[in-house]
Structure 1
Amino acid sequence: MRLDQFVSQALTLSRKQAQQFIRAKCITVNGQIVTQASTPVPDQAQVCCEDEIIRLPGALYLMLHKPSGVISATEDPSQRTVLDLIQHPHVQTLHPVGRLDKDTTGLLLLTNEGQWSHRISAPRQQVPKVYLAKLAEPLNRVAAKQLELGVRLHGETQLVAASSIEMLPEHYARLTIHEGKYHQVKRMFAAVGNRVEQLHRERIGGLSLDPTLMAGEWRLLTELETQLVFADPSA
Structure 2
Amino acid sequence: MRLDKFICKSTSLDLVETRLVISQGQIQVNQQIATDAAMQVHENNHIELLGKRLFARPSQYFMIHKPAGCICSNKDEAYPSVFNAVGLQQSEQLHVAGRLDADTTGLVLATDDGRWSFSITRPEQHCPKVYRVSLAKPISEKAIEQLERGMLLQGESKATLPAVVKPLSPTDVELSIYEGKFHQVKRMFAATGNRVKALHRQQIADIVLDIAPGEWRALSQHEINCFS
What is residue 138 of structure 2 aligned with on the other side?
138
Structure 1 residues 199 and 52: alpha-carbon distance in aligned structure 2, compared to 1, 3 A threshold: same
Q: Give the residue type in structure 2 aligned to 1:98.
A: G
2:99 is paired with a residue whose SS is coil
Write the mapping of 1:197-212 to structure 2, written as runs, cut at 5 A.
Answer: 197-210=197-210
Q: 1:227 aligns with which of 220, 225, 228?
A: 225
What is aligned with 1:190? 190
**SS of residue matched to 1:182:** coil
In the alignment, what sits opposite 1:87? 88
Residue by residue over 1:92-136, the C-alpha shift from the partner in whole angstroms, topping out at 9 and shown as x without a partner, is: 322111211111111111122222212211112111111001111
Query: What's the secondary structure of 2:156's corresponding residue?
Result: coil
**Alignment partners' CA distance in 1, 2:201 and 2:59:** 24
Change (3 A) 1:106 1:77: closer
How far, CA to CA, are the matches of 1:124 and 1:36 in structure 2?
33
Measured against aligned partners, the alpha-carbon deviations of 1:196-225 in whole angstroms (never above 9, x if no partner) come to 011000111122101xx2222111111111
Distance 2:202 2:48 in 1: 43
Matched residue SS, 1:168? strand
Per-residue Cα deviation, 1:168-199 (whole angstroms, up to 9, x for no partner) = 22621111110110011001110111000110
Change beyond 3 A, Cα 1:125–1:193? same
Report Cα offsets for 1:41-94 as digits up to 9, x if no partner: 4552333334433221212211110111221223455542233335345x3322
Which residue is equivalent to 2:13?
13
Q: What is the TM-score when the length of structure 2 is the normalising length?
A: 0.87
AA at the equivalent of 1:47: I
The alpha-carbon distance between structure 1 residues 139 and 42, as it changes in their structure 2 partners (threshold 3 A), is closer
Within 5 Å, which residues of 2 pair with 1:1-235? 1-31=1-31, 33-41=33-41, 43-75=43-75, 78-84=78-84, 85-89=86-90, 91-169=91-169, 171-210=171-210, 213-228=211-226
- Residue 228 of structure 1 and its aligned partner are, at CA, apart by 4.1
**TM-score by structure 1 length?**
0.84
The answer as to whether partners of 2:121 and 2:180 remain within 8 angstroms in 1 is yes
User: Aligned with 2:70: secondary structure?
Assistant: coil
- 2:213 partner letter: A
Q: Is the 8 A contact 2:116 2:227 kept in 1?
A: no
Identify which range, 95-104 or 74-83, moves more after superposition.
74-83
Q: Secondary structure at the match of 1:159?
A: coil
Unaligned runs of 5+ in 2: none
Deviates more, 1:168-177 or 1:180-189: 168-177
Distance 1:218 1:229 in 2: 19
Q: In 2, distance between residues paired with 1:183 and 1:41?
A: 33
CA contact (8 A) 1:162 1:175 kept: no
Task: Report the 3-state secondary structure (helix = DSSP H, G, I; strand = E; otherwise coil) of the residue aligned with 2:106.
Answer: strand
Equivalent residue pairs, number: 227
In the aligned structure 2, how far is the partner of 1:39 from the partner of 1:117?
20
Q: What value does the CA root-mean-square deviation take over the aligned residues?
A: 2.4
Which stretch shifts more, 35-44 or 3-12?
Answer: 35-44
Segments of 5+ residues of structure 1 without an aligned counterpart are 231-235
The 1:203/1:78 distance shift into structure 2, 3 A limit, reads: same
Q: Is contact 1:67-1:216 (8 Å) kept?
A: yes
Shift of 1:10: 1.9
